[in-house]
Chain A
């Protein structure tokens, strides 16, 4: 048996210190359990009444008896927007990380890092205001051009001539918000990478491009995937910014990214909450929150495990 060079705390002050600290750590577990328990307890009536149709159907009608509350289209809308955001954000974040770690000089590196950190700290309401007032008109103009020249592709078609409030614009807004998350993980992986490996690849006659594609990317791929999942979790839960730029519609939109209707669970909760009927509709909204909580918790835990594996130097 390996002996441990460690003494058990013996004085009562020491014990109190360690118990306090342990209790604090336990409280984070309790917090997650409490969130789950309260949402479940309050939404149980709605879940029982709606059954499985709650996550598969796409009708939200308070006037029928019994009222129908289904979030299928919202769930799909959230996923669609999150995927669009990821597709747009991954090249940007990898490029920014490569630029910061391998290309930029010392001063440019410091400025770029500060700017990206600042982007991470921009509150979503500010991004939402920018999105509706500045980005949406420009994005609509771009969408119109894409629709004009690539409209024959099924996912770029549009039945109306309205290009505001589309999943495309919401996807860009989400991308702006998750670029700093993905790039902070990617940047750390790139900068902690074994320099010998890169120098060896270059010494063997590799060009910058082949070193990037065949050495840097494969080595960093685990961390990048973790970062992408973290971004996905954030994108699925984004509320206020999407609320302003997306035209919420319970009519399911499978892949028409330029159609002016889409869904997002978080934004739907916000939009319905104000005039919801406390007896019937509020439990359904809490149930929607519960679904969102479970999905994001799963995605984020998976991401946390992957990111942890990819950064062995962070372990003590």
Chain B
């Protein structure tokens, strides 16, 4: 090996980092403390035929606490006990969240795939009732309806949201704090209130009946805060030097924005748009109050329309098996749309980071 090394100077020795070395006995202790209680708990639950929750709370948790506490005391002395408790509770609550989340995902995916088929994606709901066999009918009309309604919302909301973000980052107005706080507060607007607002403003007054465009309008206040906030983050990431540089070269403020800041923040703004769409694509309550529902395929935004969330709502309300299965199928379609939007947003923003790193 040394002969192959062309360098005459000795290689630097690998640094010794005593604080990183691990005592193998301690590692074994930790593994034992995490495995033994689980084994005992499963065994006891199986032998005495205990109910799952009792086995978990009354057998597993105390055993786990004792085992982890003992291991902590053995390794770190008396203060190790509190450390062990901290780790145990952190992992317990974190896995609770993970279990709930994975349960949601798993049930939607497993049940949804039982329903979904090409015909379910393309056919509409005409002549279909809650007990019709799953071989007929589908959500084609609802997909078209959702895309149209949400598309119209996007057309209105994205320019407005981006303009608000520009106001928050590019101007030095005093009103910025008020607007920012108001947007943050608006992001918690109950969706049913947005629906009631459009209902009382347009439908009670007789300006329109139940209509697709009223639904788009009802989704707007829900989408606006998300778009504005993410767009603000994106614009803020553009270095100040770029702006001041453009201004120093003599560009007027609007050209500096459109030719320097906007292109630099482009991907971030696309992300803002995608996350905004993901936010409203599954909103149900505003659409129930404004677009009602429809069984045929329709692209007429001035009449009642179908949408995926209202389709799910319509079919959960019946308790027949086929009806619930249809709801699962449509829920899976919503979930896939959200996942696609999310993945695209991730891809775009991660690609951006890699480019920046390369340039450095």
Contacts and interface: CB of A to CB of B under 8 A. Distances in A.
Contact of A301 (B53, B104, B181, B192): B181
Contacts of B108: 126, 129-130
Given A21-B171, A125-B312, A38 B82 contact: no
Contacts of A17: 253-254, 257
A13 B252 contact: yes
A285 interface: yes
B221 interface: yes
Interface of B: 51, 53-54, 76, 79-80, 82-83, 85-87, 89-94, 96-98, 100-101, 103-105, 107-108, 111, 160, 163-164, 166-173, 175-194, 196-197, 199-201, 204, 221, 224, 228, 236, 252-255, 257, 278-279, 281-285, 288-289, 309, 312-313, 316, 324, 327-328, 331, 334-335, 338-339, 342, 346
Contacts, number: 274
What 8 pairs between A and B have smallest CB-CB spacing?
A: A123-B282, A237-B190, A24-B163, A95-B93, A304-B184, A209-B82, A233-B188, A17-B254
B182 A32 contact: yes
Interface residues of A, number: 96
B82 A234 contact: no
Given A24-B160, A95-B97, A141-B53, 19 more contacts: A21-B163, A21-B166, A31-B221, A39-B200, A92-B94, A118-B338, A118-B342, A123-B338, A124-B282, A125-B282, A126-B312, A129-B331, A176-B100, A208-B86, A209-B83, A239-B192, A286-B200, A296-B193, A304-B180
B346 to A, nearest CB: 8
Contact of A240 (B160, B197, B284): B284
Interface string A107-140: 0000010111111011111111110111100000
Nearest to A297: B185
Interface of A: 6, 9, 11, 13-14, 16-18, 20-25, 27-29, 31-32, 34-35, 38-39, 41-43, 91-92, 94-96, 98-99, 103, 112, 114-119, 121-130, 132-135, 141-142, 145, 176, 179, 207-210, 212, 230, 233-234, 236-240, 244, 266, 269-270, 273, 278, 282, 285-286, 289, 292-293, 296-297, 299-301, 303-305, 307-308, 316
A59 B109 CA distance: 42
Contacts of B94: 92, 95-96, 99, 112
Nearest to B159: A24
